[in-house]
Structure 1
């Protein structure tokens, strides 16, 4: 396994992946599903595979861990040719996440997470410690979720368990096949943000198959665009692809809205946050209102005992009762620092708010970002030459004027 640190000080625990002349011919088909694919993925890199149906992206992913055997060619992980390794041993050393989690339905969460470590002969104490760490890493409280069955959890929670299970044996490589395709858009954004934070902490090599180009640009350090037969049309950073598509195929694939897709390249953490006034449930409403007015704020953010935001009421709403109520607003627009500005704008419009709160998943509130800040970024990226996308900006502004926080 390759390990080390980058120039920024981030630890790398992933391994390099090399596909050398890899081909796959399925019986009964005249054309190869993947024809002579050459690909190099650096240790600790996130690469997203995208392309139209039948382009070989899932086939290529499955050949890396030999769920599908290559017809010819070599696959090297950390310099070792894995085409001659026992496939079961190989898969035990590679994390694999599929759509909907793929959990064993009659096993508890902790048993699901500990599946591979048990096969590898880890002792109970080590498995329990690893399970607790990973559940916390994916944003699930071990005390609350360890003994639950998958049927008692939401789709997003099940997918988080699937990621924890894939990481259980500390593999250098994590393969993800359409991991967030079966959840709703808001949950998908949160899972994407969680994956970004996990990668930041662990430094694994991650390969993601997705049909969504926007998701690919958000997650991938580099994006691999494939056409029929596993032909590489472009393999570059999201910024390079959006700025200079390699050919007409790539231009058509990323679509006419590519300029607006630049919003997926800018993170919330790269913008300015504004401070907020917070309040705890049960606090004196009069004291909270006085504190907010002293800061020039017209609303407050109610947080729970751990500092996680749960509601965003106006001062009039707060002042209507003697104490701050514990109402939980499920439509509260909350984004992570790693969220894209596109994510943030979507959240604002969905909640009819003129801003979004910024908080690390399951963590404390960092501030809020205004829709006006995002619109200025959009204007700077679009210029005057893109009337269609600019009309979207005008729509966003109009919606924001009707929102609550502004």
Structure 2
């Protein structure tokens, strides 16, 4: 992240314990954890491991029984909890929007509480809606009920970022949407993070999502015990305990595909055309490039359709048609995402866009399959002996 602007701040949990009255065992026994500024850290583990409890203790929706929580140099354990939450972004499943407020009013909720001027709130709202991929002119005045689940979740992210907080907490943020929308929301989050450099803590039950999004992954077992806290590649290559090896389990091979991004492999250039262009001239450009298809883009360079030359030859001009099943992934998508998109659309490839949805190229299935074969061969060659270390050596693991 050397070339990334970081606006987030570090988080430290120092001996944090949570006990609930009437329960014999603590929900979180004793947690010591350091999260670096600008990192995305994904909390993952089985039900009852304390991941959501730990997340909510950071903004004190749940009060810790013991220990200290530091955000940057501030010990926030005894701060006014309402003021603390106003300085931390928080995203829950389904967005958690106020149903009778417009999108713009939802996004501006915290800035209004903080006393921002109307002009500043309007400017910030427009910027954030653009950032999460929603046209302000189209969506600012809509009510949540008039939007899809994925669009509502994007508004939830925009609202959480409205007051420019250094820390963003996300509790199963993409769990209530369909798989395709989930992938697009994940990609959107990675794009936003590349631009803003916040410190993001995310709870998920999906290990593949954790390895895709997390700069580091925290694997917890019952009682909030740290089993491993490391980068996704370190966890997959060297699970620290038998618990981690079993938890990762048979998903390790697929998870390896989440370590390779679309931007890391070769994808081909495409010939684009705008609505209204002369079809014969566009076809000539495509043939000169050796293609029998083109990509129709809108005024911002975002893909709308992927017709063949035979299809565009039926009309003198490129027509305005939106293909709702267009297979599109971003450069930050994983190869696993790309393969899923191809299979869902019954296509032999996908279109590749940048973080703002602008066309960058096309990725073919044979490229993805070549990487899968290479990963499979590597896993087979390394699959000779257990790679976990003993519990006695746990104290050498980072963060434990």
TM-score by length of 1: 0.91
Question: Structure 1 residue 277: deviation in Å?
Answer: 1.5
Please tell me whether residue 149 in structure 1 is matched to residue 143 in structure 2: yes
Question: Structure 1 residue 170: deviation in Å?
Answer: 0.8
Please tell me whether residue 25 in structure 1 is matched to residue 19 in structure 2: yes
Native 8 Å contact 2:330 2:357 kept in 1: no
* 2:56 aligned partner: 62
**Following the alignment from structure 1 to structure 2, what is the Cα–Cα distance between the partners of residues 384 and 81?**
46
Q: Which of the numbers 357, 366, 369 marks the counterpart of 2:360? A: 366
5 Å matches for 1:230-309? 230-309=224-303
Please tell me whether residue 347 in structure 1 is matched to residue 341 in structure 2: yes
The Cα offsets for residues 170-199 of structure 1, whole Å up to 9 and x where unpaired, read as 111000000000111111111111111111
SS in structure 2 at match of 1:84: coil
Native 8 Å contact 1:110 1:146 kept in 2: yes
* 1:399 aligned partner: none
Question: Structure 1 residue 386: deviation in Å?
Answer: 4.9
* 2:332 aligned partner: 338
Please tell me whether residue 210 in structure 1 is matched to residue 210 in structure 2: no
**Following the alignment from structure 2 to structure 1, what is the Cα–Cα distance between the partners of residues 116 and 321?**
44
Change beyond 3 A, Cα 1:331–1:30: same
* 2:123 aligned partner: 129
TM-score by length of 2: 0.93
The Cα offsets for residues 211-263 of structure 1, whole Å up to 9 and x where unpaired, read as 00000001100000001110111100000001111122111111213023111
**Following the alignment from structure 2 to structure 1, what is the Cα–Cα distance between the partners of residues 91 and 169?**
6
* 1:95 aligned partner: 89
* 2:384 aligned partner: none
Q: Which of the numbers 26, 31, 34 marks the counterpart of 1:40? A: 34
**Following the alignment from structure 2 to structure 1, what is the Cα–Cα distance between the partners of residues 222 and 187?**
30
Native 8 Å contact 2:253 2:379 kept in 1: no
Native 8 Å contact 2:102 2:143 kept in 1: yes
* 2:322 aligned partner: 328
**Following the alignment from structure 1 to structure 2, what is the Cα–Cα distance between the partners of residues 108 and 310?**
28
Native 8 Å contact 1:307 1:365 kept in 2: yes
**Range moving further from structure 2, 378-387 or 320-329:** 378-387
SS in structure 2 at match of 1:11: coil
* 1:394 aligned partner: none
Unaligned runs of 5+ in 1: 1-5, 388-406
Change beyond 3 A, Cα 1:25–1:268: same
Question: Structure 1 residue 297: deviation in Å?
Answer: 0.6
* 2:311 aligned partner: 317
**Following the alignment from structure 1 to structure 2, what is the Cα–Cα distance between the partners of residues 200 and 283?**
34
Native 8 Å contact 2:349 2:363 kept in 1: yes
Native 8 Å contact 1:260 1:382 kept in 2: no
Q: Which of the numbers 70, 76, 81 marks the counterpart of 1:76? A: 70
Question: Aligned residue pairs: how many?
Answer: 381
Q: Give RMSD over aligned pairs.
A: 1.4
SS in structure 1 at match of 2:300: coil
Q: Which of the numbers 102, 105, 126 marks the counterpart of 1:108? A: 102
Question: Structure 1 residue 282: deviation in Å?
Answer: 2.5
Please tell me whether residue 164 in structure 1 is matched to residue 158 in structure 2: yes
SS in structure 1 at match of 2:123: helix
SS in structure 1 at match of 2:77: helix
Question: Structure 1 residue 268: deviation in Å?
Answer: 0.6
* 1:3 aligned partner: none
**Following the alignment from structure 2 to structure 1, what is the Cα–Cα distance between the partners of residues 302 and 329?**
12
Unaligned runs of 5+ in 2: 382-400
The structure showing larger relative contact order (alpha-carbon pairs under 8 Å, at least 6 residues apart) is 2
Question: Structure 1 residue 384: deviation in Å?
Answer: 7.3
**Following the alignment from structure 1 to structure 2, what is the Cα–Cα distance between the partners of residues 249 and 85?**
37
**Following the alignment from structure 1 to structure 2, what is the Cα–Cα distance between the partners of residues 364 and 111?**
28
**Following the alignment from structure 2 to structure 1, what is the Cα–Cα distance between the partners of residues 337 and 62?**
35
